[in-house]
Amino acid sequence: MSDHVGRGDPEWPDDEAARRLRDVLGQEARAIQPSGDGLARIREKVRDRRRSRHGWLRPLAVSAAALATAAVAVIAVVIVEPHGNHGKTPHPAAGLSSPAPSTPAPSASAPAGPSPAASSTHPVTIYYVGKLADPLQLLYSETVLRPQPADNAYIGDAVNALLTTPANDPDYVSYWPAGTTVLGVSIQNDTKAIVDLSAGAATAAPDALDMGAISAQQLFYTVHGAAPKIDSVELRIAGKPVTSLWGSDIAEPITAEPPWQVFAHVWITSPADHATVAQAVTFGGDAIVYEGTVNWQILMNGDVLKAGHTQAAEAGPAQSPWQETVTLTPGTYTIRAFEVSAKDGSETYVDDKIVTVK
Partner 1 sequence: MRTAGALLADMGSRAVLGQFDTATADEAVTEFYRTHYAGLVRLSAMLVGDTGTAEEVVQDAFVAMHGAWNRLRDPDKAVAYLRQAVVNRSRSTLRHRAVVAKYPQAPLPDVASAESFAVAATERAEILAALRALPRRQRETLVLRYYADLSEMQIADALGISQGAVKSHAFRGLAALRNLLEKTS
Binding segment toward partner 1, per CB under 8 A, in 13-21, 127-135, 200-208, 259-267: 13-21
The CA distance from 20 to 175, in Å, is: 31
The CA distance from 302 to 308, in Å, is: 16
Q: Within 13 A of 11's CA, how many CA atoms are on the CB side?
A: 2
Kindly tell me which of 112 and 238 has the beta carbon lying closer to partner 1.
112
Per CB under 8 A, contacts with partner 1 among 299-358 are: 323-325
With CB under 8 A as the contact rule, the residue among 124, 129, 163, 193 that binds partner 1 is: 193
Kindly tell me which of 74 and 209 has the beta carbon lying closer to partner 1.
74
Kindly tell me which of 145 and 202 has the beta carbon lying closer to partner 1.
145
Quick check: 33 binds partner 1 (CB under 8 A)? Answer: yes
Per CB under 8 A, contacts with partner 1 among 261-290 are: 280, 282, 284
Question: What are the phi and psi torsion angles at 165 (to 5°)?
Answer: -110, 110
Quick check: 20 binds partner 1 (CB under 8 A)? Answer: yes
Quick check: 32 binds partner 1 (CB under 8 A)? Answer: yes
The residues, any chain, with a CB within 8 Å of residue 44's CB and separated by 6 or more, are none
Per CB under 8 A, contacts with partner 1 among 113-152 are: 113-115, 118, 149, 151-152
Binding segment toward partner 1, per CB under 8 A, in 17-25, 244-252, 340-348, 349-357: 17-25
Per the CB < 8 A criterion, the answer to whether 65 and 45 are in contact is no
Q: Count Cβ atoms below 10 Å from residue 110 Cβ, excluding itself.
A: 17
With CB under 8 A as the contact rule, the residue among 127, 128, 140, 154 that binds partner 1 is: 154
Quick check: 3 binds partner 1 (CB under 8 A)? Answer: yes
Residue 231's closest CA among 19, 7, 18, 14? Answer: 19
Binding segment toward partner 1, per CB under 8 A, in 27-35, 54-62, 131-139, 174-182: 27-35
Kindly tell me which of 122 and 336 has the beta carbon lying closer to partner 1.
122
Kindly tell me which of 137 and 270 has the beta carbon lying closer to partner 1.
270
Kindly tell me which of 48 and 207 has the beta carbon lying closer to partner 1.
48
Total residues contacting partner 1 (rule CB under 8 A)?
83
Strand partners, 270: 284
Q: What's the chain's Rg over C-alpha atoms?
A: 23
Quick check: 291 binds partner 1 (CB under 8 A)? Answer: no
Quick check: 106 binds partner 1 (CB under 8 A)? Answer: no
Binding segment toward partner 1, per CB under 8 A, in 185-193, 205-213, 235-243, 271-279: 185-193
Kindly tell me which of 175 and 283 has the beta carbon lying closer to partner 1.
283
Quick check: 27 binds partner 1 (CB under 8 A)? Answer: yes
Quick check: 51 binds partner 1 (CB under 8 A)? Answer: no
Per CB under 8 A, contacts with partner 1 among 63-82 are: 70, 73-74, 77-78
Kindly tell me which of 119 and 348 has the beta carbon lying closer to partner 1.
119
Amino acid at the residue 144: V
Kindly tell me which of 18 and 342 has the beta carbon lying closer to partner 1.
18
The CA distance from 84 to 239, in Å, is: 41
Binding segment toward partner 1, per CB under 8 A, in 12-20, 57-65, 293-301, 341-349: 12-20
With CB under 8 A as the contact rule, the residue among 59, 61, 63, 90 that binds partner 1 is: 90
